[in-house]
């Protein structure tokens, strides 16, 4: 931990020295919510989000805050080890071509629904699809989104590990399904503001729902479905990436797929109380748990093992974190310089024009410093260096 701020109703514990003003203001806003348990934890990749900083962890007693989960519910990482030890440039280009044919990116979806058996079932026993109003309404559309990457900072990457093996990594979420659920319940929470208890100022974007209300229970059920859908989405993409790899490189053995989500809420016991832990751009780092902390395009990613630090609600960062907004990156970064950073490393990258600069290395924090700031939360197991990347 880097420092503690104790000027608000609850302490704010930070794992970074420098935090942007917007994220700091948001951290103070959530530290003053009446239902917050113990303290607020801010991870080293933190930056401003909607309502709550991305990289924030908040435990609540009795309520759920949709904007403290975020709009891309269940967004997270998958990584899988291969038996390969090397790939040449020709092979990498061939693999990337095949991936682009089988995995739609950006706003693109599949032209037809994917197999229904690949869609997750409702998580809670006894809950039917009809009990999930937003999910059931969007279900058919979601079937065309299954196995698609999306845009923004989502990516598919082929990497070389410090263990000597080639790895595959995917970052993606619940696509439009998660957005629809998040938007519906955030608007519902705003409409009910003050009806359940203390009102939260509307401009703070932190409207809440009691977990013992019909609306709160319904949100949690739909949120859990979106987390499961996001995992199914990554798993289907991973299967198609593996097929592309084997088409080019021949028979390959694969290790167990590692999965970790970073936009969700879960019931956990912390500081002697059963609370709802909201992780928005933060991942679980229980003692012995394997996690994934990706770097920006062109920078290393890390497989880590959690240390179970209670002060962070057993959490760690979900990535490097932005150091500048998307518009600022497009305005201020030098295209030739950003391309050179990637090409000097021999990386097949996705920075082609100025519009891609929002996902260039210069738009993100130094991942090595982010890791250094949280060595009390995790230990590094494997360092993964990029060979080729597809961006959404």
Residue 258 and residue 199: Cα distance in Å, rounded? 40
- C-alpha to C-alpha distance for 58 and 37, rounded to whole angstroms: 8
Look at strands 12-14 and 36-47 and give their pairing.
parallel
Which residues are CB-contacts of 288 (< 8 A; sequence separation ≥ 6)? 305, 306, 308
Q: What would the DSSP string read from start to end of 272-294?
A: TEEEEEEEESEEE--TT-EEEE-
Of the candidates 187, 195, 226, 224, the residue with the CA atom closest to the CA atom of residue 66: 187
User: Residue 72: which of 294, 258, 230 has the closest Cα?
Assistant: 230
The residue assigned the tokens 């960062």 is: 317
Tell me the chain's radius of gyration from C-alpha atoms: 20
- Cα–Cα distance between 294 and 176 in angstroms, integer? 23
Nearest to 44 by CA among 269, 391, 372: 372
Nearest C-alpha neighbor of 278 from the set 91, 79, 27, 96? 27
Q: What is the DSSP letter of 251?
A: S
Q: How many residues does the chain have?
A: 392
In whole angstroms, what is the distance from residue 57 CA to residue 30 CA? 10
A 10 A CB-CB count for 310 gives: 9
* Cα 42 versus chain centre, distance: 15
In 61-194, beta strands by DSSP E: 63-64, 76-81, 155-161, 166-172
Phi and psi at 22, nearest 5°, equal -65, -45
Nearest to 36 by CA among 56, 18, 54, 15: 56
Catalytic residue at 318? yes
Q: How many CB atoms are closer than 10 A to CB 1?
A: 16
Catalytic member of 37, 39, 47, 318: 318
Cβ proximity of 51 and 65 under 8 Å: yes
Q: Which residues are catalytic?
A: 318
């Amino acid at each position: 931990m880097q420092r503690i701020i104790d000027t608000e109703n609850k302490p704010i514990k930070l794992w970074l020295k420098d935090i942007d003003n917007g994220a700091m203001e948001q951290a103070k806003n959530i530290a003053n919510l009446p239902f917050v348990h113990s303290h607020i934890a801010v991870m080293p990749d933190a930056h401003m989000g909607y309502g709550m900083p991305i990289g924030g962890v908040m435990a609540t007693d009795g309520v759920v805050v949709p904007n403290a989960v975020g709009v891309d519910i269940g967004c997270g990482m998958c990584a899988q080890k291969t038996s390969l030890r090397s790939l040449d440039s020709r092979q990498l280009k061939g693999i990337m071509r095949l991936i682009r044919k089988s995995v739609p990116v950006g706003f693109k979806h599949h032209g037809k629904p994917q197999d229904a058996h690949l869609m997750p079932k409702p998580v809670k026993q006894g809950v039917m699809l009809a009990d999930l109003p937003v999910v059931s309404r969007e279900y058919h559309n979601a079937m065309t989104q299954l196995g698609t990457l999306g845009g923004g900072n989502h990516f598919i990457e082929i990497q070389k590990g410090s263990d000597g093996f080639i790895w595959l990594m995917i970052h993606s979420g619940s696509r439009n399904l998660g957005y629809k659920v998040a938007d519906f319940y955030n608007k519902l929470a705003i409409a009910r503001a003050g009806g359940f208890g203390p009102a939260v100022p509307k401009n703070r974007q932190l409207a809440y729902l009691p977990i013992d209300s019909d609306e709160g229970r319904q949100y949690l059920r739909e949120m859990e479905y979106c987390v499961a859908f996001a995992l199914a989405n990554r798993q289907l993409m991973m299967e198609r990436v593996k097929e592309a790899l084997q088409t080019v490189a021949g028979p390959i053995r694969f290790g167990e797929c590692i999965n970790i989500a970073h936009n969700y809420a879960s019931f956990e016991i912390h500081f002697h109380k059963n609370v709802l832990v909201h992780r928005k751009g933060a991942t679980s780092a229980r003692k012995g748990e394997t996690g994934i902390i990706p770097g920006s395009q062109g920078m290393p990613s890390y497989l880590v093992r959690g240390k179970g630090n209670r002060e962070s609600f057993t959490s760690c960062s979900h990535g490097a974190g932005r150091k500048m907004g998307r518009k600022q990156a497009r305005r201020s970064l030098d295209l030739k310089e950003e391309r050179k950073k990637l090409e000097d490393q021999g990386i097949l990258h996705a920075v082609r024009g100025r519009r891609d600069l929002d996902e260039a290395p210069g738009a993100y924090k130094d991942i090595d410093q982010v890791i250094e700031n949280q060595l009390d939360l995790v230990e590094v197991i494997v360092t993964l260096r990029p060979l080729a990347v597809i961006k959404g």
